Structure 1
């Protein structure tokens, strides 16, 4: 007979770890971000329809409908079936019916939380309510071992899925990872992912990335599934509860993105009030002299805590490591939610402002210049009078309604209004000495966005085959107006910058360019489950229409287009064992055409949409304490370039990215955590003009990206954790000719954090040093499909300090 454990006994971390690390949290209410408290009362019976089948699927379905948390060791339910149920049941009564004859039993471990254990021959096993830590509350869902990655991530049309049950490559970073990395912006966070690289200077006007070697703009980062809502140029991470990164084209599940990013997608999930009150303050310091503070407050109230409110605010300002550069940023985001018996609603309203003095620019290498020496660039080559001022106000409303136990309606709408004001100059060196002309430009951009998506999801069975049908429609509209003026030029040098006079008398006014983008889509998918859902087949298609119109000085341009396409996609996943999943997918999608950059002679020219095709196969192994994922992929799309001699931007041939990714996360040893991986890409150009560059490597695409982050809990000092991270990228070409090249680079980061209590208040001190060796190197050559290529200089050694107090 198992020993009876008194309720007052606290489980040690070592005894609890196998349960937590191998658990499968079955908290699937119609939306995993909310737990429907109204359905959890055992005294109240309600109607359930759970078909017979695998025990795991039956428990998942019932727990979701009941709105409770159930933690399960997958080994307990492996190979077991359930008779299902139909009728009116209380929660524990329904679980008992599903577990009939299984040799398993349900044990309550807290309010609306249960654990599944083997049924003893006699007596009962009692667990303290603290035995499942973090099982309720918070929108991260179940956090994987180590706390840096979540098991589930948002997949648009397909809803929220466990990483082991989706035929796509995906990593979901938790808010804990954001805090421990002291990530201020999205660029800081994605530095941990080998498939993602930043292609703009950290102290620049805006952030931009590549995923699998292809560009991703901030405009294409979604907010709770809605494109174009987040700030255009820089996204503050204090607003994020988690960040989902999907690798590979995702048009089926997310629809067409505003700027046509195809290498992958990023989704920021907003914070929600948890069942536990939140009152947190963080004071921060970043070198050279940036000071800041952030507050995080969350409460639930009303009957059954149906209403929630969460506020996050940030103020940070001061000088950076670059001379005469300063950054001043403000962020305020308010989230409200309601979780009823069948209806769940949420709204988020935010405002951000960022002022940057002397923002860095990419360095453009002229046709007659060699690649400059990054190690000799010691000063900020941006003029002290240059600036970037951005203001973004955004809001969303989302909702879900359970029509029945098997049908759910969902939708969301969002809007953003932004005003951007830049006084900048390009840095285009003309010779090996690093000379360039400072050509000031006053540039303004005003944006308005309206977006929405609506859908219905239906679960049912046809004989032994389960179905999850999704039908969704999406709409996106954005208008923006660009304007400005040009000023007289003056000479400067990359290695020895010359301070030029502040521009005040324009030599010419730029034309005002007004553009309207519209995209609409309708998608249908069906995920079929065979053999007790051990084989999951997802088939779907999305109809997409893209319409772009533009005017120059109120005169309609001739570059407008209106095109549509039906894009089929599909994926299959095979659960070979409870720990191993194998998958394959084919994705196809229409992407909005590129826009010629300001550095080209055909500035603002809009090119037609293009089609991207992708094939991927992979495997995922969940060992419990740690997980390893691997994928082989191939992505095909048109290649673009700015001709080095004519400075005309346009398409030139095709590019094919064939690669391999291997990622690892978790806690393989008690107190020792890993996060990282490696990506290899063979990027080849084909069908270029006159075959001139056929067989060459696509520019700005390193063959290897390697990331490895490690954390170690010092056993002799409780609460002390040491951290380190290594980031490596191999060499990259600047152009399609493969003549100019930047060297491979390695960056090392180190850090530590110390958690303790003062008067029952949790305090966490964090310290990080980024680029600890203070190496100077070109971290990126832009992106091969980018509209504005150029070299990105590494960030100098940066010290980050913070103290968080949870009241």
Structure 2
């Protein structure tokens, strides 16, 4: 019988509930719906004149336009429900033009009055302090047109010389994504490399590791929870492929395959009051609240609260998850000043979390289909507590200069009682070696910059100067206990450890990463050709102490890293681009499974070259890129168990992504990635030319949604995911099979009087297939096999008041 979920609610969650419920009747503010009927519109991106004409025709109003005013101007289009004036304002945003009434249901277009000498800010550069950047969604609502790019601000994907996809909160809601790992199942360039029921989440982008520590929050690294990120706090998720050190600086764990940025929710002009009840098999039940209000004479103040409580058993034996999240976001929108702050707390308790399965030198790859029970001991646990806060600010010094800055802090406490799973023979036997592991973290980070726009003759410039500083200290400790035995296929429950056989040394580490970056985006031929040139000075300083004794592997190094990108808009629908990116990353740390545990290696340099094309059909977008990334390779030697450098690796690949609504009521999201990952300069040349471990050649993700015409509000969805085979070792002697997963679902939206209700049902891994979904990552310090998640049922009901 499943355990009864705890009803304990964290004080911050209680505070948020009281605050939002008590303020609900007071903070309701006027919206566009008060001044005009809201209707659904789909206006594709393109020339501004065509967008205005299409919108006016759909709205049934007359519009007088001087062709000279709109000549050479483009619009991002719009998708969603708008009143007439609201829709026109959205289409005209950043154009320097405004709409004036000219009679009943008639309007005319004029220039916005401006002081002499002012410069109109380009629409591709404005980034609000709340990170939202006024991001319009692409057709279908699953992907946003704009993404946050750190140093370079916010840009439309068609004007970005990088490969980037920005997922909206609609995807999060409709797929019932609970963690970041659930959301990235839409992206072929990203894969989860740790079990869904494990202690932490970890990913690969273009074959290289990315930890949660490297996921930024509104552009700040190290603020989000270290081990698992809840999705209920998220407005958008930007996924950038390729080294991102120029635009974001050095990430805490040194990811080089790409970057992920989480944009928090903000109060909208439309009041929000939603409650979502949820169920996930085996018996996880929970609830989430989302409340947002704007107030003030001009709606300049905003508050948004999101809270979650979920508890219960998962599909795995004796495994349960109890999680709480509370995040409050406040913002101010002034004429020149924009401020925002976020304060959050998360707690997650997992009993019997799964570990990766390591395969010893004398064992073959286990048969995943025969692993039918949780091999983690019932006494194992993972307890994480994270509290964080940020403050963002922007100030328009003039119409052509913007100052911005942000600071963030996080304090975390983590407590694990775990054991490795290292299979020693073909029968699946492994030794249960309990380890009590604690980790306390403190993070302080800040960034500041200036962005200015000007012209030199016919050439436009956007110059960015930014400085950043990241500091984190953490202390690891714990104890070891007497080993016992178990089996992967037939787990044996062992007694809970009580008397340590060894106390681990207290290891204290300080990391400080700092840098200064300068970039200039030059626009030629009316900004049809955009050239971005930049460089970042970076410093990496790491110190560590063991039981108060300073370690010998500390270092303090710096480097100047150049980067650049070029984009040419062949037409309003087609963009071609190329980039070169280079960055310095923190050195790897030897894992607990190596004999040189906790040894810190020097920082390393990664380099990427990439070319690509983006085609925007208005209702459908297709992006393609070819890339090559180089960096050192690391491995734990199978015989000596020493972790260290082992040659170099080069990932050369091709990506193809597609998203949008090609037919009315039919949406697609997904793509394919091919990677050829080769090893070079390995020790003695033994593995030269081999495929890098944990790097499949093919990843395919394709999802679709269909609005059933005969039943208003009913939508059916499905998704298929495929990953080809991959090796476990540099010798390419052990391999896991290719796998595929299929998900299906449906949702039904309707109204009861004036109350909006949405019912959602999803089945993940509908065929209940068992497979090894990942062999880790070839640059990971602790590789191992990740077991697939069994068939999982997800149900939810969202009520909007």
The residue aligned with 1:147 is 141
The residue aligned with 2:5 is none
The residue aligned with 2:407 is 413
The residue aligned with 2:73 is 56
Structure 2 residue 223 is matched with structure 1 residue 229: yes
CA contact (8 A) 1:246 1:265 kept: yes
CA deviations on 1:316-340 (whole Å, 9 max, x unpaired) are 0000000100000000000000011
Change (3 A) 1:462 1:107: closer
Q: 1:304 aligns with which of 289, 298, 303?
A: 298
Q: 1:576 aligns with which of 570, 576, 584?
A: 570
Superposition map of 1:332-481 within 5 A = 332-481=326-475
CA contact (8 A) 1:140 1:242 kept: no
The residue aligned with 1:179 is 173
Structure 2 residue 489 is matched with structure 1 residue 495: yes
Q: 2:545 aligns with which of 551, 555, 562?
A: 551
CA deviations on 1:756-805 (whole Å, 9 max, x unpaired) are 00121110000000000000000000000001100000000000000000
CA contact (8 A) 2:75 2:91 kept: no
User: How far apart in 2 are the matches of 1:649 and 1:727?
Assistant: 33
Change (3 A) 1:8 1:489: closer
Structure 2 residue 625 is matched with structure 1 residue 596: no
User: How far apart in 2 are the matches of 1:155 and 1:433?
Assistant: 50
The residue aligned with 1:220 is 214
Q: 2:162 aligns with which of 149, 152, 168?
A: 168
The residue aligned with 1:38 is none
Structure 2 residue 109 is matched with structure 1 residue 106: yes
User: How far apart in 2 are the matches of 1:277 and 1:614?
Assistant: 44
CA deviations on 1:103-155 (whole Å, 9 max, x unpaired) are x95399xxxxxxxxxxxxxxxxxxxxxxxxxxxx9766211111100000000
Structure 2 residue 650 is matched with structure 1 residue 619: no
User: How far apart in 2 are the matches of 1:313 and 1:532?
Assistant: 47
CA deviations on 1:540-591 (whole Å, 9 max, x unpaired) are 0000000000000000000000000000000000000010000000000000
Secondary structure of 1:303's counterpart equals coil
Change (3 A) 1:59 1:606: closer
CA deviations on 1:717-737 (whole Å, 9 max, x unpaired) are 000000000000000000000
User: How far apart in 2 are the matches of 1:415 and 1:310?
Assistant: 20
The residue aligned with 2:322 is 328
Q: Deviation of residue 8 (structure 1)?
A: 11
The residue aligned with 2:118 is none
CA contact (8 A) 1:22 1:73 kept: no
CA deviations on 1:283-321 (whole Å, 9 max, x unpaired) are 000000000000000011112111100000000000000
The residue aligned with 2:54 is none
CA contact (8 A) 2:98 2:110 kept: no
Q: 1:656 aligns with which of 635, 650, 660?
A: 650
The residue aligned with 2:798 is 804
Change (3 A) 1:683 1:54: farther
Structure 2 residue 641 is matched with structure 1 residue 647: yes
Q: Deviation of residue 599 (structure 1)?
A: 1.0
Change (3 A) 1:23 1:229: farther
Q: How many residues align?
A: 722
User: How far apart in 2 are the matches of 1:658 and 1:374?
Assistant: 30
Q: Deviation of residue 388 (structure 1)?
A: 0.0
Q: 1:278 aligns with which of 268, 272, 281?
A: 272
CA contact (8 A) 2:49 2:70 kept: no
CA deviations on 1:695-754 (whole Å, 9 max, x unpaired) are 000000000000000000100000000000000000000000000000000000000000
Secondary structure of 2:777's counterpart equals coil
The residue aligned with 1:101 is none
Secondary structure of 1:238's counterpart equals helix
Q: 1:210 aligns with which of 204, 207, 215?
A: 204
CA contact (8 A) 1:138 1:274 kept: no
Structure 2 residue 693 is matched with structure 1 residue 699: yes
User: How far apart in 2 are the matches of 1:757 and 1:107?
Assistant: 40
Change (3 A) 1:23 1:483: farther
User: How far apart in 1 are the matches of 2:764 and 2:361?
Assistant: 34
Q: Deviation of residue 68 (structure 1)?
A: 10
Superposition map of 1:709-728 within 5 A = 709-728=703-722
Structure 2 residue 284 is matched with structure 1 residue 290: yes
The residue aligned with 1:194 is 188
Q: 1:561 aligns with which of 555, 559, 570?
A: 555
Secondary structure of 1:578's counterpart equals coil
Structure 1 segments unaligned to the other structure (5+ residues): 1-6, 27-51, 61-66, 85-89, 97-103, 109-136
Change (3 A) 1:693 1:762: same
CA contact (8 A) 1:141 1:152 kept: yes
Secondary structure of 1:736's counterpart equals coil
Secondary structure of 2:172's counterpart equals helix
CA contact (8 A) 1:54 1:533 kept: no
Q: Deviation of residue 56 (structure 1)?
A: 2.0
Secondary structure of 2:470's counterpart equals strand
Q: Deviation of residue 70 (structure 1)?
A: 3.6
User: How far apart in 1 are the matches of 2:375 and 2:154?
Assistant: 46
Structure 2 segments unaligned to the other structure (5+ residues): 1-33, 51-68, 78-85, 112-130
Change (3 A) 1:530 1:685: same
CA contact (8 A) 1:396 1:412 kept: yes
CA deviations on 1:443-482 (whole Å, 9 max, x unpaired) are 0000000001000000011111000000000000000000
Q: Deviation of residue 281 (structure 1)?
A: 0.3
RMSD, aligned CA:
2.6
Structure 2 residue 655 is matched with structure 1 residue 666: no
Secondary structure of 1:305's counterpart equals coil
Structure 2 residue 541 is matched with structure 1 residue 524: no
Q: 1:754 aligns with which of 745, 748, 761?
A: 748
CA contact (8 A) 2:48 2:75 kept: no
User: How far apart in 1 are the matches of 2:146 and 2:414?
Assistant: 36
Q: 1:238 aligns with which of 214, 232, 256?
A: 232
Secondary structure of 1:385's counterpart equals coil
Superposition TM-score, scaled by structure 2 size: 0.87
User: How far apart in 2 are the matches of 1:23 and 1:801?
Assistant: 42
User: How far apart in 2 are the matches of 1:204 and 1:284?
Assistant: 21
The residue aligned with 1:606 is 600
Secondary structure of 1:298's counterpart equals strand
